[in-house]
């Protein structure tokens, strides 16, 4: 048979201009030309693109020849008329030869679509709540053949192809089927499997070839700086945390102890030679450490795949892929499972506020501003040189919502800490006049982002009962942690940035000046129940020249540690859940550096070891004493005993729960002066005991403690009929309870 291009096209062959349009990416749907089609005479013709082949034949699945194909285009398009009885749906294979080399393959263009009309409808409506099951790359058996289904949203593209080593990164070979209803593109490629590397090649709206794009829905990506997506499918971990998940679904965290240890996976601990550890190793070490330290939760800085390590994950491109820096999706799932089995909740930082402009990411995805706003006044973050999602677009909002619930559902994550919510809520965030566009009512609120956040929180509540969302939100926007049906945004908790700024400002003062700033430690109580708060001492407070938490403290070495211990004691007894960044618990001395491990060797020093022991005991006390956590989000859980002793910089208050629970009396002395025979009013008489004192020698303190049973007297103080005389330690917080 002849294998050279014909001088004249066969009469029934596809039109040469249409073939050229497919090859050049000028025709939207390659299925209009490629694969089997009826000819003008009513017979069935078969068109195949095989640029490597000199000869192509169509075979039955059993290997019998159906028809030889003729080259009708110099770039490698072959066509042949199929025998009588051949029709749409008839299975066939392709046999090819080039020189002495022969091979066979299935034809992707003989298969019916994988996506259905309902997928198109739900994507367009922005209501496809499990979009990760349909878009992206999915190993499967389709019509009896094993391969991979690819699907991507790119409504303005002229052509979308999947490329990889399997097709020499040639976008002409596997153009996807266009689903015009929702701007989706899909193709089932037989013969591909888990582990194959791929990207999408996109010809944009104006015919311009885009940089190769990673799959927005990929479950696994190459380790940076490589940027390819990897066919993986859903992780194959078999979960063993059923008891944890069942318990999680029973209710909220509002009345439970929540003490969170914030971790950057790449720098918490490293190997002996400074190497980054994998999820398996980190998971084992974390379980042991968090159990010893009595933390209830661990919060991971973003684990979504991200190209720039120095962004700490806050500029993600793979919102469905755990970063490959530390291992596989299975290893990440196993780490979460292991933590759950040890009784430790897992929170991840989730970043829907912005994304980087890296060429392989979402920026200008189909040749247009698809995920972002085209106008930089709406679509560009000046602070971070990143792009802002178009929250008003159904498909974008749906993509983001699903990425959040995906982690809660498929990786059993217990809570999402949502980053940079303030930047989402306000159109003029960090912008000068003229640099932003008001909303339809002339206001500064980003109405689309507000609706997106409400919708996300509603979807989380509906799909993953017991999972929580936590807003990093630094303004006075009302109702962040109030239910949507009560006019709020629907978050479970909000970071209390006001408390953090005020209390750190106070504690950095020399004690002699603290009496002039007393209000900085009491003001937070005025709004403590306007939201459900988490008290955060996060990574943001120990980077960019801010120094470590220990070195924010004034005075000599003894005073620095005493101030640190007193501050942590105050924090753990103040209303609100707790969050502490790694290293702060043992007094890391240098500022955090994401490229190296924490300075664990410091624990050889008794002061550092003492600080760590204090946090361990604070966590245990916080968990064991119901009064310290049950009403964190209720004003009934707090009562001042004396919040006005500014002259001596003393704070005294009660933490309470129900009537059957003993209260806890907290006293903080924020000066280095020992107060002998300090009298404090009590809510009830009888004997009291000191449960914890941050000046205890066990914590590196001076040992000014109150031992044994402390008997109250019928002596009025602080407006109460009974009181107690104590030794008040210097620069310390103490916790007392009735001996009952």
Residue that the structure tokens 């002066």 belong to: 673
Name the catalytic one among 106, 120, 372, 472: 472
**Neighbouring residues of 222: CB distance < 8 A, sequence distance ≥ 6:** 197, 228, 229, 230, 324
8 Å CB contact between 259 and 296:
yes
472 catalytic residue (yes or no)? yes
Give bridge partners of residue 348 from the DSSP assignment: 300, 416
- Which among 707, 527, 535 has a CA at the least distance from the CA of 618? 535
DSSP count for the chain of H helices, then E strands: 13, 34
Mode of pairing for the β-strands spanning 577-581 and 184-190: unpaired
Quickly tell me which residue has 């005493």 as its tokens.
Answer: 562
**Phi, psi for residue 561 in degrees, rounded to 5:** -70, -40
Q: How far apart are CA 67 and CA 82, in angstroms?
A: 6
In the structure encoding, which two tokens stand for residue 670, read together?
């924020």
How many Cα atoms sit within 13 Å of 280 on the Cβ side? 5
Contacts of 69 (CB under 8 A, 6+ apart): 46, 48, 56, 57, 58, 78, 79, 80
Q: Write the secondary structure of 168-185 as one string of H (helix), E (strand) and C (coil).
A: CCCCCCCECEEECCCCEE
Residues in the chain: 740
Cβ neighbours, 10 Å, residue 555: 14
Of the candidates 502, 501, 496, the one whose C-alpha atom is nearest the C-alpha of residue 519 is: 502
> Distance of alpha carbon 487 from its chain centroid, rounded?
26
Select from 392, 405, 307 the least CA-distant residue to 356.
307
Reading the block at residue 554, the tokens are 């004034």
Q: Name the residue among 363, 366, 397, 376 with its Cα closest to residue 28.
A: 366
599 catalytically annotated: no
Residue 343 has phi, psi (to 5 degrees) of 85, 25
Task: Find the catalytic residue in 419, 502, 541, 696.
Answer: 419
d(CA 135, CA 112): 16
Return left, alpha or beta for 393; rule: phi > 0 is left, psi -120 to 50 is alpha, else beta. Answer: beta
Q: Mind giving me the DSSP string for 250-319? A: T--STTS--EEEEE-TTTSSB-TTSPBPPHHHHHHHHHHHHHHHT-SEEEES--EE-S-GGGTTSS-SEE
Q: Which residues are part of the catalytic machinery?
A: 419, 472
């Amino acid at each position: 048979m002849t294998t050279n291009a014909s001088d004249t096209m066969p009469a029934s062959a596809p039109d040469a201009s249409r073939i050229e349009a497919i090859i050049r990416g000028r025709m939207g749907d390659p299925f209009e030309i490629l694969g089997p089609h009826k000819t003008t005479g009513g017979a069935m013709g078969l068109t195949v693109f095989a640029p490597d082949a000199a000869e192509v034949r169509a075979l039955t699945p059993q290997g019998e020849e159906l028809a030889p194909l003729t080259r009708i285009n110099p770039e490698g398009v072959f066509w042949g008329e199929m025998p009588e009885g051949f029709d749409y749906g008839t299975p066939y294979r392709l046999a090819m030869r080039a020189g002495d080399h022969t091979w066979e393959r299935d034809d992707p263009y003989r298969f019916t679509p994988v996506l259905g009309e309902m997928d198109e409808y739900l994507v367009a409506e922005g209501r496809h709540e499990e979009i990760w099951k349909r878009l992206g790359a999915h190993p499967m058996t389709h019509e009896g053949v094993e391969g991979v289904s690819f699907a991507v949203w790119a409504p303005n593209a002229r052509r979308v192809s999947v490329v990889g080593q399997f097709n020499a990164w040639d976008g002409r070979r596997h153009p996807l089927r266009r689903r015009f209803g929702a701007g989706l593109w899909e193709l089932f490629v037989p013969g591909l499997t888990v582990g194959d590397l791929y990207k999408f090649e996109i010809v944009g709206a104006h015919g311009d070839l885009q940089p190769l794009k990673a799959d927005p829905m990929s479950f696994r990506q190459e380790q940076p700086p490589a940027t390819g997506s990897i066919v993986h499918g859903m992780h194959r971990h078999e979960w063993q945390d059923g008891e944890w998940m069942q318990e999680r679904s029973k209710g909220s965290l509002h009345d439970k102890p929540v003490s969170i240890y914030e971790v950057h996976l790449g720098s918490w601990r490293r190997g002996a030679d400074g190497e980054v550890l994998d999820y398996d190793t980190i998971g084992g070490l974390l379980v042991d450490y968090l159990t010893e330290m009595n933390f209830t939760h661990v919060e991971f800085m973003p684990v979504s795949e991200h190209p720039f390590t120095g962004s700490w994950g806050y500029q993600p491109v793979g919102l469905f892929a755990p970063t490959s820096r530390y291992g596989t999706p299975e290893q990440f799932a196993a780490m979460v499972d292991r933590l759950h089995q040890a009784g430790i909740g897992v929170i991840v930082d989730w970043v829907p506020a912005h994304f980087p402009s890296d060429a392989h990411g979402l920026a200008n995805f189909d040749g247009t501003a698809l995920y972002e706003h085209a106008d930089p006044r709406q679509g560009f973050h000046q602070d971070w040189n990143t792009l802002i999602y178009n929250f008003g677009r159904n498909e974008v909002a749906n993509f983001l919502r699903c990425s959040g619930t995906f982690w809660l559902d498929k990786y059993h994550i217990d809570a999402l800490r949502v980053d940079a919510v303030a930047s989402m809520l306000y159109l003029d965030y960090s912008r000068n006049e003229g640099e932003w566009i008001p909303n339809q009512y002339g206001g500064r609120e980003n109405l689309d982002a507000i609706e997106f956040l409400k919708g996300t929180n509603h979807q989380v509540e509906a799909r993953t009962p017991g999972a929580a969302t936590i807003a990093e939100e630094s303004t006075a926007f009302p109702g962040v942690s109030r239910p949507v049906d009560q006019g709020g945004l629907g978050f479970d908790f909000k970071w209390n940035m006001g408390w953090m700024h005020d209390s750190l400002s106070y504690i950095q003062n020399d004690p002699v000046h603290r009496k002039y700033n007393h209000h900085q430690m009491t003001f937070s109580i005025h709004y403590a129940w306007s939201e459900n708060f988490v008290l955060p001492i996060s990574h943001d407070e120990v980077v960019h020249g801010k120094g470590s938490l220990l070195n924010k403290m004034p005075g000599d070495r003894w005073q620095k540690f005493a101030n640190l211990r007193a501050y942590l004691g105050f924090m753990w007894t103040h209303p609100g859940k707790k969050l502490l960044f790694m290293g702060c618990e043992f007094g890391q001395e240098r500022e955090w550096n994401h490229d190296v491990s924490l300075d664990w060797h410091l624990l050889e020093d008794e002061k550092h070891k003492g600080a760590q022991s204090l946090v361990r005991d604070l966590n245990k006390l916080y968990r064991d004493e119901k009064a310290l956590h049950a009403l964190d989000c209720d004003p009934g859980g707090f009562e001042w005993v004396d919040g006005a002793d500014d002259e001596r910089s003393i704070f005294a208050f009660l933490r309470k729960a129900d009537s059957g629970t003993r209260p806890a009396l907290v006293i903080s002395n924020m000066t280095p002066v020992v107060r002998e025979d300090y009298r404090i009013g009590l809510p009830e008489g009888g004997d009291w005991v000191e449960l914890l004192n941050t000046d205890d020698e066990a914590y590196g303190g001076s040992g000014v403690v109150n031992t044994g049973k402390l008997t109250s007297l019928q002596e009025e103080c602080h407006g109460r009929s009974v009181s107690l005389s104590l030794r008040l330690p210097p620069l310390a917080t103490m916790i007392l309870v009735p001996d009952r």
